[in-house]
Copies of this chain bind each other. A is one copy, B any other.
């Protein structure tokens, strides 16, 4: 069994990006600049955004954090987005989700200039991805592709089963694994809450990508020998014996599934750290496209 070490790979990627930024600087070029908008005071969201800003510093990007109050109106947020769309110094920006209830998330995501949409959430970018065109791939799916690629996991002709059809992970992952190229060319089955006989389906899979958010969902008896198992679930479980008051767990019964798998991602330290690395990669790409 090989552990797909997202912590290590994401560090490698950050080092590679930092190297490229150094070269940009030495050539007197503008370095990539990522902006993030956060509305409100949600603790987890603040933590995520802070780690994105920190990652920018680490690789030498410029970064801007825009905090807006929980009472921000849709119009105020749309105005801010338009400002970033028009600001030539900003190469890419993200809007941290979820947004407060008075704001229509779909409308907000549609307002982002697709060329600065480094989260890859705009329909134009999502459509380009589905139509095999060059675009920004959403960071978490992009991170999974990168992990498979760097560990040389064969995907062509394999049967990939994706669990969960979210817009952020499951749906794009199901599209990406079936596209032409590598990683890709898989036969892909997308499963979700209406799927019957899930065990029958997962136990045929060469590659399982679980993005459900249900701790211990994927058990050993659902997985065939030598399967590749990618765990995208991140659930905080309350644990008073832990000093944080919680621990992080994935969808996979790691202890038992890891005994059967050929490759498996741990949680934490698997897919999670890849997400930020690929956000940086998309921002670098956005900067390069401007040149």
A187 lies within 8 A of chain B by Cβ: yes
Q: Is the CB of B187 within 8 A of A189?
A: yes
A167 lies within 8 A of chain B by Cβ: yes
Docked Cα-Cα span, A190 to B171, in Å, equals: 13
Docked Cα-Cα span, A156 to B178, in Å, equals: 22
* Chain A residues in the interface with B (C-beta under 8 A): 106, 122-133, 156-157, 159, 165, 167, 171, 174-175, 178, 185-192, 194-196, 201
Asked if A190 meets B188 with Cβ closer than 8 Å, knowing A127-B130, A171-B130, the reply is yes
Task: Please name the residue on chain B nearest to A126 by beta carbon.
Answer: B127
Task: Please name the residue on chain B nearest to A186 by beta carbon.
Answer: B194
Q: 24 A-B Cβ contacts within 8 A?
A: A122-B127, A123-B123, A123-B127, A123-B128, A123-B130, A124-B127, A126-B130, A127-B127, A127-B129, A127-B130, A130-B130, A130-B171, A156-B194, A157-B194, A157-B195, A159-B196, A171-B175, A174-B174, A174-B178, A178-B190, A185-B194, A186-B194, A187-B201, A189-B189
* Interchain nearest-CB distance for A111 vs B (Å): 13
List 13 extra interface pairs beyond A127-B128, A157-B194, A157-B196, CB under 8 A.
Answer: A122-B127, A123-B124, A123-B126, A124-B127, A126-B127, A130-B171, A130-B175, A131-B171, A157-B195, A159-B196, A165-B178, A187-B192, A188-B189
Q: Looking at the complex, which one of B123, B167, B178, B194 makes contact with A187 (CB distance below 8 Å)?
A: B194
Task: Please name the residue on chain B nearest to A165 by beta carbon.
Answer: B178
Docked Cα-Cα span, A191 to B175, in Å, equals: 12
* Interchain nearest-CB distance for A96 vs B (Å): 19
Residues of B within 8 Å of A201, CB to CB, are 187
Docked Cα-Cα span, A165 to B165, in Å, equals: 19
* Interchain nearest-CB distance for A282 vs B (Å): 16
Docked Cα-Cα span, A147 to B192, in Å, equals: 24
Docked Cα-Cα span, A132 to B192, in Å, equals: 15
Docked Cα-Cα span, A157 to B188, in Å, equals: 17
Task: Please name the residue on chain B nearest to A123 by beta carbon.
Answer: B127
Docked Cα-Cα span, A157 to B175, in Å, equals: 20
Docked Cα-Cα span, A125 to B131, in Å, equals: 11
